[in-house]
């Protein structure tokens, strides 16, 4: 055997050994991941049982009255199931599926998990409210209450898969949620006739109404939405949601139900799921892709239609771990020209820049917005506002407007950053300091769980609620300004 052939044989054997080693490492890593994921807390009935009365895109439901009737049947089935569990188990004080619990929605004067409708005799305009993923109509409760001062028709829709048990989101698709959105919009428009119809969408609710408007523009050349406001809009999510599908598929193949869950948590929140199904994350990811395809298609083939996209006001925290914050610009507003009526606006909530806590930051969250804030005159159709500290030596908040702030003095707002809060979050924007569930102080009158000020200190691993959930900011010190600005923008001049 020549030296060359001998060396080539050694190389081939070495490469083969490396290949087997890499393959072994890959499968060992998968086995370890599966073991860790399957070692999480046991699943409960709200993870494994699916109520059969839920609406989907194939339901033979054509009116909102039918949708409400189906919803009542759904909650009747939920009540029967939770009553059965309550009779069997001792009282669990922080389980929403125990009627004796502090987390039970039945402790509230109104169950905000359900759809609601407000119908004045002769409304001047209408508002449709669409909540976010794993959430409930409670997320837009304060917006709804603010419009009570005005003569507005209101429809707060509970999206399919929500308000009941997290198991529902193992099967619900974005098409199911969109079908319900279409139903609600048709109903509201029929109620109002030629009067203005506005929409407020929180997170996934924003993505659903974007899809609705784009479909209308593409199919008819016009839309019945007069104006739109979005809070923390889910324009784009991380591609991790797509990768997580393999975890769900592997779990199905191995018969391991826990692998269908991104997180498994005790359900202590009466109006938001603590456990999060992998399917739910995948659905919002797929919806965002569908919206991007629609926008790109219209932009390429019928760009003039996008001028009829209604004037849109968005509120976004620069710190947001649920969605990609800057996507509201790069994957939404960048596609839109100046609207035929009104003006597009974006309000950004900066981090708290007071004191020395910035040295603890891993990154500068405002950096991804800098090119938009500095492009003076390049986006006349989009007004951008930034709520930030009046200066770094003060916790007082101020409003700065872009693109041209050279001749402007920031508008001082009557709000300040709390000393212990370094930023807002995806879930915080629409909730006030005194919110009975998410606010800073518990309500004396309401005998129910209070989540907003839950920041216990002690040893790790001792309590049900994880530190990440407790540390996440749940209310907005400038929320009254947000709601007032939104309400003033979304009503006709009457």
DSSP string, 391-410: STT--EEEEEEES--TT---
- Regions of the chain short of the pLDDT cut 70: 1-9, 11, 13-17, 19-40, 86-91, 238-256, 356-357, 359, 375-380, 403-408, 442-446, 453-470, 493-494
Top-tier CATH class for 45-434+479-489:
alpha beta
In 188-249, the DSSP E strands lie at 197-202, 227-231
Secondary structure E strands in 275-418: 276-277, 312-317, 344-349, 382-389, 396-402, 411-416
Q: What is the dihedral of CA 227, 233, 234, 235, to 10 degrees?
A: 60
pLDDT of residue 376: 47
b/e for 283-311, b at 16 or more Cβ within 10 A? bbbbbbebbbebbeebeeeeeebbebbbb
| Cis, bond preceding 403 (omega within 30 deg of 0) | yes
pLDDT confidence of residue 429:
96
Question: What's the CA gap between 89 and 103, in Å, rounded?
Answer: 16
Q: Report residue 12 as tokens.
A: 């081939």
Distance between CA atoms of 16 and 262, rounded to whole angstroms?
Answer: 36
Tokens of 354: 């007071």
Q: Residue 469: is it exposed, middle or buried by C-beta count within 10 angstroms (0-12/13-18/19+)?
A: middle
User: Cα-flanking dihedrals φ and ψ of residue 401, to 5°?
Assistant: -110, 145
Q: By C-alpha distance, which of 181, 133, 132, 127 is closest to 155?
A: 127
Q: What is the three-class DSSP state of 200?
A: strand
Q: Is 470 buried (19+), middle (13-18) or exposed (0-12) by CB count in 10 A?
A: middle
pLDDT at 196: 96
Spatial contact of 56 and 172, defined as CB atoms under 8 Å apart: yes
What's the DSSP call for residue 159? P
Picking from 164, 162, 111, the residue whose alpha carbon sits closest to that of residue 141 is: 111
User: Which residues, 6+ apart, have CB-to-CB distance to 208 below 8 Å?
Assistant: 130, 159, 174, 177, 178, 181, 201, 287
Nearest to 491 by CA among 202, 143, 211: 143
**Nearest by Cα to 237 from 167, 169, 287, 179:** 287
The neighbour count for residue 21, using CB atoms within 10 Å, is 10
CB atoms within 10 A of CB 254: 11
The dihedrals phi and psi of 124, each to the nearest 5 degrees, come to -85, -25
Question: What is the C-alpha R_g of the chain?
Answer: 25
């Amino acid at each position: 055997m020549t030296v060359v052939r001998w060396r080539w044989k050694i190389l081939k054997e070495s490469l083969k050994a490396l290949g087997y080693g890499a393959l072994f490492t890959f499968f060992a890593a998968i086995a370890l991941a599966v073991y860790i994921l399957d070692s999480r807390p046991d699943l409960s009935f709200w993870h494994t049982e699916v109520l059969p009365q839920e609406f989907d895109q194939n339901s033979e439901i054509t009116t909102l009255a039918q949708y409400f009737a189906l919803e009542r049947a759904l909650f009747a089935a939920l009540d029967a199931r939770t009553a059965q569990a309550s009779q069997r188990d001792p009282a669990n004080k922080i389980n929403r599926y125990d009627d004796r619990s502090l987390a039970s929605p039945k402790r509230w004067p109104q169950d905000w998990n359900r759809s609601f409708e407000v119908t004045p005799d002769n409304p001047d305009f209408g508002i449709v409210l669409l909540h976010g993923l794993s959430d409930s109509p409670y997320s837009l409760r304060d917006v709804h209450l603010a419009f009570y001062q005005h003569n507005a028709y209101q429809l707060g829709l509970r999206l399919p898969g929500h308000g009941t048990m997290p198991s529902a989101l193992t099967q619900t698709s974005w098409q199911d949620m969109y079908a319900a959105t279409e139903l609600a919009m048709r109903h509201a428009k029929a109620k109002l006739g030629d009067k203005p119809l506005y929409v407020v969408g929180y997170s996934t609710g924003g993505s659903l109404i974007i899809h609705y408007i784009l479909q209308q523009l593409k199919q008819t050349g016009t839309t019945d939405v007069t104006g739109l406001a979005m809070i923390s809009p889910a324009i784009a999510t991380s591609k991790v949601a797509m990768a997580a599908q393999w975890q769900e598929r592997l779990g199905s193949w191995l018969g391991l139900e826990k692998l269908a869950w991104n997180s498994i948590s005790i359900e202590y929140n009466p109006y938001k799921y603590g456990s999060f199904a992998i399917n739910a994350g995948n659905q919002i990811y797929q919806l965002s892709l569908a919206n991007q395809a629609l926008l790109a298609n219209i932009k390429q083939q019928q760009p003039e239609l996008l001028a009829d996209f209604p004037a849109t006001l968005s509120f976004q925290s620069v710190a947001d771990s649920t969605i990609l914050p800057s996507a509201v610009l790069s994957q939404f507003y960048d596609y839109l020209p100046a609207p035929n009526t009104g003006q597009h606006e974006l309000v950004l909530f900066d981090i708290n820049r007071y004191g020395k806590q910035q040295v603890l930051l891993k990154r500068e969250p405002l950096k991804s917005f800098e090119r938009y804030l500095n492009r003076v005159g390049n986006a006349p159709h989009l007004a951008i506002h930034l709520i930030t500290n009046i200066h770094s030596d003060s916790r007082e908040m101020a409003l700065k407007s872009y693109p041209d702030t050279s001749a402007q003095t920031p508008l001082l707002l009557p709000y300040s950053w709390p000393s212990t809060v370094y930023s807002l979050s995806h879930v915080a924007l629409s909730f006030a300091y005194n919110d009975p569930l998410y606010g800073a102080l518990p309500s004396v009158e309401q005998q129910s769980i209070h989540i907003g000020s839950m920041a216990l200190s002690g040893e790790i691993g001792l309590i049900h609620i994880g530190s990440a959930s407790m540390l996440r900011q749940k209310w907005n010190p400038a929320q009254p300004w947000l709601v007032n600005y939104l309400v003033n923008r979304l009503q006709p001049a009457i």
